[in-house]
Homo-oligomer: A and B are copies of this chain.
Amino acid sequence: METREQLYEGKAKTLYATDDPRLLVQHFKDDATAFNAQKRGTIHDKGVVNNRMSEYLFRYLEEHGIHTHFVERTDDRRMVVQRLTMLPIEVIVRNRIAGSLAKRLGVAEGTAAKQRIIEFSLKSDELGDPLLTDDHILALGLVEAAELAQVKEVTGRIADLLTAFFAERGLELIDFKIELGHDADGRLTLGDEICPDTMRLWDMATGEKKDKDRFRHDLGDVEETYQEVLARVLAD
């Protein structure tokens, strides 16, 4: 598909308009950032891995009744997606408490959660994506109450599906981030990407981190890990 003007350039992806106003092209880059872009680097072929892995997971979720923006993958680094009107919040799901939340709450990395956490943050690079409670979202009118309930319901189904998917491949899904929006028909739809950049995956046998934490914390084997996770995802 022919691309037209660049609409958005993010840390890891670029979005282009197309001749069809309902469709966009999403281009996956190798650039990596961490800690609110204080750390920057490149992970060789990360864009290729994330494009293929996102394709596979969007198809899997679609097969299980989740609306996603995925249309087709056109080459190694690009996929065609539906144009969504994004919600102004990010959604984070946590099966265990890890990363910045563990540090902020003073608990050990990987502390078990007595129940799954669905967490929201304001989409704002400038403000560092601040954490929002439900009351903050409603008080600011960012999302209406009925839709917030729907976001939680869909997110719960996605979390169940992805947690089971990775468990079958020997990986524990610790946490992940998703972004949702509305398609042209107003349907709540999963957008963005689903890949080792946006989730924590721990090897169930060895406990090893199989995600972007290898880059964040200089754990080595970064590129190899992205390739390994893709291979596990694709190996049906």
User: A: which residues have CB within 8 A of B?
Assistant: 94, 97, 101, 104-107, 111, 113-120, 122, 124, 126-127, 130-136, 138-141
Residues of B within 8 A of A136 (CB): 101, 105, 117, 119
Interface contact B133-A119, CB-CB below 8 Å: yes
Choose among B106, B107, B117, B135 the residue that contacts A126 (Cβ–Cβ < 8 A). Answer: B106
In the bound complex, CA of A142 to CA of B113 (Å): 11
Pull 26 A–B residue pairs with CB atoms less than 8 Å apart, ordered by A: A94-B139, A97-B140, A104-B127, A104-B130, A105-B127, A105-B136, A105-B140, A106-B122, A106-B124, A111-B140, A113-B139, A114-B138, A114-B139, A114-B140, A115-B135, A115-B138, A115-B139, A117-B135, A117-B136, A118-B135, A119-B133, A120-B133, A131-B131, A131-B133, A133-B134, A134-B134
Residues of B within 8 A of A122 (CB): 105-106
**5 closest A-B pairs by CB:** A113-B139, A117-B135, A104-B130, A117-B139, A133-B133
Give me 14 other A-B pairs in contact (C-beta within 8 A), A115-B138, A134-B134 excluded: A94-B139, A105-B127, A105-B130, A105-B140, A106-B122, A106-B127, A107-B140, A114-B138, A114-B140, A115-B135, A115-B139, A119-B133, A119-B136, A133-B133
In the bound complex, CA of A131 to CA of B113 (Å): 17
In the bound complex, CA of A122 to CA of B105 (Å): 8
